[in-house]
Amino acid sequence: MNKRTKIIIAIISSVIIIAVIITIIVVVVKKNNKDEKKSSSYNPSNQNNDDNNTDEETGSNNGNNKDDNTNYYNSLFKISEKNANLNNGYKMPILGLGTWTLSNTQAEESVYNAIKVGFRLIDTAEYYGNEEGVGKGVKKSIDEGIIKREDIFITSKIMPGAYSNPDLAIEDSLKKLDVDYIDLMLIHQPGSNDEKVYRSMEKYYNAGKLKSIGISNYYTKNQVDKVLSYAKIIPAIIQNENHIFYQNNELQKYVMKHKIIIESWYPFGGRGHTTENFNNDVIKKLANKYNKTSAQIIIRWHLQAGYIVIPGSSNVEHIKENYNVFDFELSQDDMKEIYNVNINRRYEYW
């Protein structure tokens, strides 16, 4: 072998060695980038099932994230449009006014002020004793040309005491609200006569008197399955206690397959617990970061997490504050921090 041949072989060998080294470096870099992205990125609907510790009886989930169901979230929940597409094709506003504890007079004024601010979802119940006030607030807004009836979404509920005659309960709510139809009627909480109540709601749904139906205070898979076993019309909404300390991610994940959306009552923890929620270190830090109030951070979290939310207030300034949540967006890291606040603690056990 002459000198020239040896040089050529040496060059070829060097090129091969360099190519192998470069290939190894590229593979390692790509793997590191992929691992880094996996550990740092966060999707609010993404949860590793290996980290789940689920208690079926409570419906709780000790994991911090959710199963990846981005298509569900994007197709049904439209924050930019301020609406959610229910499983019956009806649209429901994703942010509303709760009226629990308000008198008829307070409810009328609060509903009227909320509608003027921009709220289009109003939540009441027979049990609250303020359906007449809610109806008057809506009617006043219509009479003044602020809205049309079709622009407002009214939710009411059948109280347990009316379970023996649910038809009469629905008729009473229609009369007190002074409307031809109710946009959403819920069973207020589980009882001994749920199937009869649900059948009644289905009848009024088919007659066009109820545009959507659902359930409230059903927290476990077993409770939901019982309703689904006799429901001819799948519930559109489950309205439950839901806040930063009780997120019940497992139930939300389960009902997604039926396109059932969870609506949050007590989004701030309810009276007596609001301060605890507002003064949480994570919430206060994010409020400072976005130059928003704790209430606005919590409401925005509910919306980005895929919950319809109904904060209650009779204070005009608070009502305005609660609606001013559409001009910012929490980052995925922010959402993860709030998910980590969850300790599966409910404040009420209705």
Catalytic annotation, residues: 128
**Most distant CA pair in the chain: distance in Å?**
107
Contacts of residue 296, defined as CB under 8 A and 6 or more positions apart, other chains included, come to: 287, 290, 321, 322, 324, 325
Judged by DSSP in three states, 128 sits in helix
Backbone angles phi, psi at 122, to 5 degrees: -125, 130
Q: Are the beta carbons of 120 and 179 closer than 8 angstroms?
A: no
Of 110, 91, 92, residue with least CA distance to 100: 110
Residue 166 to residue 320: CA distance in whole angstroms: 36
Residue tagged 């550990």 (tokens)? 39
Number of C-alpha atoms within 13 angstroms, CB side, residue 42?
Answer: 18
Residue tagged 């629990």 (tokens)? 100
Sign of CA dihedral 111, 114, 119, 125: negative
Backbone torsion region of residue 118, taken as left when φ is above 0, otherwise alpha when ψ lies between -120 and 50, otherwise beta: left
Residue 57 to residue 59: CA distance in whole angstroms: 6
Residue 216 to residue 208: CA distance in whole angstroms: 21
Q: Are the beta carbons of 122 and 98 closer than 8 angstroms?
A: no
Where helices occur in the chain by DSSP H, the ranges are 3-40, 70-76, 104-117, 131-143, 166-177, 194-206, 221-230, 249-255, 274-278, 281-290, 294-304, 316-323, 332-339
N-terminal to C-terminal alpha carbon distance within the chain: 93
